[in-house]
Amino acid sequence: MNIFSPGHTCKNSKARCGVMHLPHGDVRTPVFMPVGTNGAVKAVSKDDIEEMGFEIILANTYHLFLRPGADLVQEAGGLHGFTKYNGNFLTDSGGFQVFSLSKLRKITPEGARFQSHIDGSYHLFTPENVVQTQVKFNSDIQMQLDVCSGFGVDRKEAVSALEITTDWANRAMKEWQKEREAGYKGYLFPIVQGNFFEDLRRQSAEFVAGLDSAGIAIGGLSVGEPTDEFVHFMNYTNQFLPEEKVKYVMGIGTPEYILEAVAAGIDMFDCVLPTRNARNGSYFTHDGMLSIKQERFTHDFSPLDRECNCKVCRTYSRAYLRHLFKEQEILSSMLASYHNLYFLNNMMKEIRASIENDTFETYKKSFLDRFRAGNIQ
């Protein structure tokens, strides 16, 4: 099964561009996906998302399952009918959220039994019912239920997590095939696990590569490990994955991590960081992260980032943005979130252009040298 039309691969790296063909339109890659956990990107309207040019966003199965419930979303016409966003939706399986609820869940071969963080009610996620739930959402891409293990766990725990994830991948694929035969148009991505053990990573990657899926996610990274470990295991895992399939690294959203992933030949990534940082007054700029709460911006009537063409930078001053943040105005979160997402989406456009021009490595170095220098004037 193939949804990916590869474009150019940069002659000096593995960085590549292409197009994913999905039910709600084509998606140009490499692509960063904003996170809309509850069916909405925090502090950003779907009109703003479309205005910025995003072609796919992420929503979360765990949260939407609990509220408002899969049946209601289905009744509204899936996530597209419910939200009126016309682009594509990728839905996370909820496995990471269940993993993070370590005191409220129990993993067995059958599935993940957990307590709702909202009202304490008990629920069971299985590979099958998670597929069914995402079908009700009419997800364009859905993820398998997996077991994510954190950085630093022992080998025994990593092996157990991988064995369960592998079994769940087979069960999820079977359920997804049934739903496809019944008319569902979306795709299922299995997930590579194996923690930070090379032989387990290779075992998982080779297994997942043999499944009839349109894409593959590299999971279990960006879970607290040092950056060099992230880079090593991302590249190590990727070498065992087929070039013709879309590759997705879950949970990365800084320019440094995105550029490392693109250099490795990764096509997709997502993270809550841009909007979370925004709500805390932290803005992306070409010269590094700018904390708008700093006293020095009180009388600074210059744009946030002189080289950014977003409507926030064209319209508002640093002094005004600082005022909004200090007064805890809702508009502060809205404007900061818009800017941060625009900044990353524009970076992705520049990345794709640099790949086409065989200048990605030069772009990566010059971008990071300036960004890391942090010379914000």
Q: Which residues are catalytic?
A: 92, 270
- Nearest-Å Rg of the Cα atoms of the chain is 21
Strands 191-192 and 268-271: unpaired
Q: Which whole-number Å values give the CA distances from 25 to 19, 56, 86, 119, 267, in the listed order?
A: 10, 9, 9, 38, 17
Strands 25-29 and 31-34: unpaired
The DSSP secondary structure of 38-105, one letter per residue, reads TSS-TT--HHHHHHHT--EEEEEHHHHHHTT-HHHHHHTTHHHHHH---SEEEEE-SHHHHHH-TTSE
Contact 146, 219 (CB under 8 A): yes
Q: 143 forms bridges with which residues in the sheet?
A: 189
Contact 308, 346 (CB under 8 A): yes
Strands 246-249 and 268-271: parallel
Separation between Cα atoms, residue 185 and residue 141, nearest integer Å: 9
Look at residues 250, 20, 226, 267 and name the one whose alpha carbon lies nearest to residue 146: 250
For the chain, the distance separating the N- and C-terminal CA atoms, rounded to the nearest angstrom, is: 50
Enumerate long-range contacts of 346-354, CB under 8 Å, 24 or more apart: 346/308, 346/309, 346/310, 347/32, 347/255, 347/258, 348/30, 348/31, 348/32, 348/258, 351/15, 351/30, 351/258, 351/259, 351/262, 352/17, 352/28, 352/29, 352/30, 354/10
